[in-house]
Amino acid sequence: MVLKTTYNPDKDIPDQSGKVFFVTGGAAGIGKSTIFNLAKHNPSTIYFTGRNSKTAETVIAEVTAIDASIKIEFLQCDLSSLDSVQTTARKFLAARPSRLDVLICNAGIMGGPPGLSPDGFEIQFATNFLSHALLTKLFLPLLTQTASTFGNARIVNLTSEAMFFCPSTGVVIDDLRTTQENVSYSSFVAKYVRYGQSKMAQTLYTTQLAVHYPGITSIAVNPGVVPTGLINGLPVLDRWFIKLGTWGKEIEATQGPWSTLWAATATEGVSSGKAFSPVGLVLKLYGPAKDETLAKRLWVWTEEALKAWE
């Protein structure tokens, strides 16, 4: 399905001269497309993370071909490990960057068997949410400084309408240090409930970022159903399960980064603490996504959980 919108990143992204972007999961899929589109609009520097240095080399070469004046740097990072995230953040900050205009928390995993991260958290929650919460926490001083000096800094968190496929309570906070294999009646369904939980957390956390750091614009974006490796790399049964659940909603791969690009660069319509669907449309939240008490509880839990990596 072609997304019905007048948005055109080639025309609608304003000049980004001087700006510094940091994109997680930038070596493939939506992250890679986001970087290529940003590169057409004169950013100063783009940093991106990933696991595969060979793939990253290809991204760097292609961005350089778009604009050789852009500084683009790859930082290897395993988002399932908070030690790895901490190391990546420290490496970035050790170079003493003068600004960070936009942090795009894009990377993620979906499905997969129950498991724990190296730090003992449910694996999808750790990779999709907790790693980005830590990265955000470590970058907040620089983001705050950038907003103060240049008038704007943004955090763009990729969520999904799959967040509504979460547990009935939204996030089962008391069980996040378990595999949560029994979070649903079916082990097959449970892996997607755990995924939904991680995306619900991303949305709730965004609302709290807006409360605690009003000087920074924090936005959650649903990119839409995009045929990337996140879906295409799944087993056949899983792909059919997702296809049936999102029938008629899949958009063109080239349109996958549009929500992210809008949230990262638009000069109008962006509202901190809100969630948006493609492109620039306020995403209607319901159920746990509107639970302010849950959002506050998640914030407190996350602050405590990340103390060892500050």
Give the three-state DSSP class for 239. helix
| Res. 46: pLDDT tops 90 | yes
Please tell me the least confidently modeled range out of 121-130, 181-190, 225-234, 256-265: 225-234
Q: How many CB atoms lie within 10 A of CB 94?
A: 8
- Side chain identity at residue 149, one-letter code: T
Backbone Cα Rg of the chain: 18
Cα 128 from Cα 108, distance rounded (Å):
5
Query: Is position 277 within any domain?
Result: yes
- How much is the pLDDT for 3? 63
Query: Is position 274 within any domain?
Result: yes
Catalytic residue among 199, 205, 213, 274: 199
Terminal Cα distance for the chain, rounded: 43
Q: Which two tokens stand for residue 276?
A: 């948006």
- How much is the pLDDT for 295? 98
- The two beta strands, 217-221 and 102-105, are unpaired
Average pLDDT, the chain: 92
Mean pLDDT of 12-24: 98
Catalytic residue among 195, 205, 213, 274: 195
Query: Is position 7 within any domain?
Result: no
H/E run at residue 196: helix 187-212
Q: What single-letter DSSP state applies at residue 15?
A: P
| Res. 131: pLDDT tops 50 | yes
Query: Is position 5 within any domain?
Result: no
Domain count, the chain: 1
Query: Is position 1 within any domain?
Result: no
Q: What is the CATH number for 218?
A: 3.40.50.720
- How much is the pLDDT for 232? 58
Mean pLDDT of 58-84: 97
- The answer to whether the CB of 43 falls within 8 A of the CB of 70 is yes
pLDDT tens digit string along 164-195? 889 999 999 999 999 999 999 788 889 999 99
- How much is the pLDDT for 107? 95
Kindly tell me the sign of the dihedral angle through the C-alpha atoms of 67, 68, 72, 74: positive
Parent domain of 127: 15-305
- Side chain identity at residue 108, one-letter code: G
pLDDT tens digit string along 187-196? 888 999 999 9
Mean pLDDT of 247-266: 83
Cα 170 from Cα 198, distance rounded (Å):
9
- How much is the pLDDT for 234? 62
- Residue 290, classified by CB atoms within 10 Å of its CB into exposed (0-12), middle (13-18) or buried (19+), is middle
- How much is the pLDDT for 247? 45
| Res. 268: pLDDT tops 60 | yes
- The answer to whether the CB of 134 falls within 8 A of the CB of 86 is yes
- Is 195 catalytic? The answer is yes
H/E run at residue 22: strand 20-23
264: closest CA among 59, 30, 84?
30
| Res. 301: pLDDT tops 90 | yes
Query: Is position 105 within any domain?
Result: yes
Query: Is position 9 within any domain?
Result: no
Query: Is position 6 within any domain?
Result: no
- How much is the pLDDT for 1? 46
pLDDT > 70: percent of the chain: 90
Mean pLDDT of 293-302: 99
| Res. 228: pLDDT tops 80 | no
- Is 199 catalytic? The answer is yes
- The two beta strands, 20-23 and 281-282, are unpaired
